[in-house]
Amino acid sequence: PQREQKQHALPNLSDFFDRTKPWVLVPDGSYNGFFDWVPEKLRHGPWSIVAVLYLPLIVITITAGVLWAYIRPQDDWSWKDESNGMYPETGSLHWCYNTFIFIWISFLNYQLFADFGMRPWTYYTMWSWTALWIRHGLSALSPLFSHSQILKLCLESLRFPCLATASITFLVWNLVLLPGGLFLVRTKGAKKKEIILKAAFSWKLVQLHIFNICYAIINCVFTSHVRLLNY
C-alpha cells in the first residue's frame, strides 16, 4: 500500500478548498491506513460550503484570540492581581471535585478509546467533553501554579466554550435527537425502541449527554472565580 500511495501525484493546493474532493486527498480517503479510524462517510465529499468555511474559521478565531490576549496592554488583564482566591485552594472541597472529575473523565476517555479507538473524537460531543476534561485538569493544577498567567489564560479561554458546548450537547441530544429517534421507530416495534433506550441510557452516554452539563456548570460557575464581563 505504501508503494501505491507514492505513485499518486501530490494534491494541488486548490484541492484543499475543493469541496467535491474527499476529506483526505488520497484514494479511499486514507493514507497508509492512518485515517481508517475515521468513519468512511466522513472521508468522502461533497462538502457543504458551511463545513468548508467552519474549519478555517476555528483556526482564525483561535489565532485572533491569542494575538489579542498577548498584544493588548498587560494592565488590562483583570485577573493579573487575583491570584489569591481565584481558584480553590489545594485540599478544599472544590479542588477535590475538580481533581476527582478529571480522573473520572480520564477513566471514561480510556474506556471509550479502548472500545472504539479515536472514532468518538470525530463527533462534536467528544470535542465538548474533551474541553471539559482539560478545564477540570487545569483547575486542579491552578493552586500549584497560581502565578502562571498562561494557565489562567487557558482556563478563562475555556470557560465560555465549555459552558456553551455542554449546553448545546445536552439540549440537542435530550430535546431533539433522542426524542426524534424514538419518534422515527415508533412504528417499528418495541424492540427497536428498547435498543435505542438501552444505548441512550448506558452509563457512558449518560455521562456524555446528561452529566456533562452538571460538570460544566459546577466547574465553570461554582468552583471558578467570578469575573466581571468588562471586555
Dihedral angle at the C-alpha atoms of 104, 107, 112, 118, nearest 10 degrees? 110
Distance (Å, whole) CA 43 – CA 144: 43
**Taking a C-beta distance cutoff of 8 angstroms, is the pair 152, 79 a contact?**
yes
What is the model's pLDDT at position 73?
55
Distance (Å, whole) CA 99 – CA 141: 9
Distance (Å, whole) CA 95 – CA 160: 20
**H helices present in 37-123, as ranges:** 49-71, 93-116
**Per-residue pLDDT in tens (0 to 9) along the chain, 231 residues:** 443 444 455 667 777 677 677 666 666 666 666 666 667 766 666 667 777 787 788 888 878 877 776 676 555 444 444 444 567 788 889 999 999 999 999 999 999 999 888 888 888 899 999 999 999 999 999 888 877 778 888 888 888 899 999 999 999 999 988 888 888 777 777 888 888 888 889 999 999 999 999 999 999 988 887 665 554
Residue 67 CA: distances (Å) to CA of 64, 70, 73, 155: 5, 5, 12, 17
What is the model's pLDDT at position 58?
81
**H helices present in 117-211, as ranges:** 124-141, 149-172, 178-184, 190-200, 203-206
What is the model's pLDDT at position 71?
73
- In tens, the pLDDT along 206-229 reads 999 999 999 999 999 888 876 655
